[in-house]
Structure 1
Amino acid sequence: MAISRRTVVIAGLPVHVYSEGGLEAISGPVSVLFLLHGRMGSAHQIDSVAEEAMKVVSEKRQSKEASIGLIVVTFDQRNHGERLVDTFANGAWKENGNDRHAIDMYATYVGTAKDVSYLIDFLPSYIFPSGEAEVVQWSVGGISLGGHASWIVLRQEPRITLGIPIIGCPDYLKLISGRAKESEIPFEPPYIPKTFLSYIQQHDPAQASYTISEASNPFLGKKILVLSGADDPLVQWSCSQEFVENLQCTPDMVKEMANFVWDNVLVVA
């Protein structure tokens, strides 16, 4: 079945919705996967990723019936793509001398996480105004900056039950302190304001009680596939390793990458 891409403008925010055969062909229960692009990127640049994900699912449907439909949703992160207002703010310390790099980057993907929650609130009303289908499950995946944002979403948004952070880091203090050292930037104000540090310590995924089996653990019961490159020079695995190993992520998850959403969402009764 052909993959359809439709742009829906939600209160001024262009949102791109990928589906099998168009939204008109969807009925019954459906799962939504938010796919988030990387730094300096845009929703347009991950068109092929969204389309390929849909094609994999479409091909699987030829041999096995799924009880739940799938749509993939992309949008420009703040200050990216059609929402770009300040190119300088997207640069890093070494790239263009942006002194506010630490704040700008974190604020961007915290804002993206809030956008995801906002879209969960309103997207169904825009694409299924007469109740043609019902969204029964929400997932998030992202690459690089989108991977970072995915971790924020997984911590902050209880309606998201599955995540696939790709080259993303859940521990911002480890990530940005290492980058500051490499860039010969002191880890102190004005580069790292005290108010900013306090916010991270309260809200960052790595600061959550992620090892306990109690309701205060925001990751409890969520299915997470973590994909990171051991030799990645920008988002080093060491920044994520302690957190991820405590979540008991195993190498088998990588082997199941292509089937993750299918097996854990679409064919689950």
Structure 2
Amino acid sequence: MSAELTLGHPAVSQTDLIIAGLVLKIHGLEEIKDSGRPLIVLIATHGRKNKMQSMAPFAQGILGEIASHSDRKKDLIVVTLDQRNHGDRIKDRKANLSFDENPRHLVDMAATTTGGYHDVKLIIDFLAPYLFPSGEKVIEEFVAAGISLGGYVTWLTLRDEPRVTTGINIVGLPFESLHRVLGPRAESFGLQFQPPTYPTTVKPILEPAVDLSSYKGKRILTMHGKDDPLVPFARGKEDIERIKQSVEGEGGDGKVEVWLQDDTGHTCTVEMVKKTADWILICALSDHTSGHKSNL
């Protein structure tokens, strides 16, 4: 990932941690060890064919932006990990490829996204007892953010994990939109979007009856490149609009903000990193109240 995503901020500490075999990098832990502020944890997940270390510039940029706000009420650390079958966890390189080289691409994407969500849950369950076994610090809230494949993981986490109420998606879409992205992609390679490309047994996973109330109270920033050819915003627009209506409708106290960047494809940009930091500052690091107003 591009070094420009550091936003020119200095390097931050990286602490290794292993939870039941899951290797993590904790960014920014040393910098806040003597602070008395409450702690927020951002779990940041990378895209397909990337790895944990590729998220280091992203984490550095976020933490640098946050550190520049000395009036913040809480501290932040960033946790990164290799997604399943990525980085040091890779077992099958073909499984990470698209339909032109991997006709099982849809199933692999669905399984990797679901596995990523379970990894996030594991981190939420066990990060505190591993990092702070004597209660040295209390983790007040977990925030999820992800790029591309990590964006799908973030959306799935926001839908199914009630402990995560703040999330940032970058060039991904809701998990329930995945088949709408991969159907046209399969057909562009001459495949029919039916078994075995789209097995009937995976259809209930990708096209469930979604209870939109599960998004209630969530504070979601979703960012997309207007010219994204790989994961076009249009493929998930209807799902995002339904989620937004549910979150912000009568009695709703959450927020869904959609931002599309001009002249941008399938990439995480400097502007997206800045907006991610702003969203975290507003929604998780301040004494926010329901119905907060974003200045993005």
1:199-241: CA deviation from partner (whole Å, max 9, x where unpaired)? 2222xxxx5232xxxxxx1110000000011210000111121
1:78 aligns with 2:80: no
Please list, as runs of the form range in 1=range in 2, the aligned pairs for 1:207-218 lying within 5 A after superposition: 207-210=209-212, 217-218=213-214
1:34 aligns with 2:34: no
1:103 aligns with 2:107: yes
Residue 268 of structure 1 corresponds to which residue in structure 2? 287
* Residue 86 to residue 253, structure 1, CA distance change in 2 (3 Å): closer
TM-score by length of 2: 0.81
* Residue 181 to residue 250, structure 1, CA distance change in 2 (3 Å): same
Residue 244 of structure 1 corresponds to which residue in structure 2? 240
Tell me the secondary structure at the aligned position of residue 133 of structure 1. Answer: coil
1:186 aligns with 2:195: no
Residue 245 of structure 1, CA deviation: 2.5
1:73-106: CA deviation from partner (whole Å, max 9, x where unpaired)? 0000000001001101111112x2x121100011
Paired-residue identity, %: 35
TM-score by length of 1: 0.88
1:116 aligns with 2:120: yes
Kindly provide the amino acid, as one letter, of the partner of residue 266 in structure 1. L
Residue 21 of structure 1, CA deviation: 3.6
Residue 60 of structure 2 corresponds to which residue in structure 1? 51
Q: Distance in 2 between matches of 1:167 and 1:127?
A: 31
RMSD of the alignment, in Å? 2.0
Q: Distance in 2 between matches of 1:54 and 1:234?
A: 29
Residue 213 of structure 1 corresponds to which residue in structure 2? none
Contact 1:23 1:127 in 2 (8 A): no
1:134 is aligned, of 130, 133, 138, to 138
More helix per residue: 1
Instruction: Show structure 1 runs of 4+ deviating over 6 A.
Output: 252-256
How many positions carry a matched residue from both structures? 254
Contact 1:28 1:133 in 2 (8 A): no
Tell me the secondary structure at the aligned position of residue 77 of structure 1. Answer: coil
Q: Distance in 1 between matches of 2:103 and 2:220?
A: 33
1:93-147: CA deviation from partner (whole Å, max 9, x where unpaired)? 12x2x12110001100110000100111101011111111111111100001111
Residue 252 of structure 1, CA deviation: 7.2
* Residue 102 to residue 252, structure 1, CA distance change in 2 (3 Å): closer
| Comparing 122-131 and 1-10, the one that deviates more | 1-10
Contact 1:27 1:132 in 2 (8 A): no
1:219 aligns with 2:215: yes
| Comparing 256-265 and 29-38, the one that deviates more | 256-265
Kindly provide the amino acid, as one letter, of the partner of residue 73 in structure 2. S
1:54-84: CA deviation from partner (whole Å, max 9, x where unpaired)? 00001112xxx22211111000000000100
Structure 2 unaligned spans of 5+: 1-9, 246-255, 262-270, 289-296
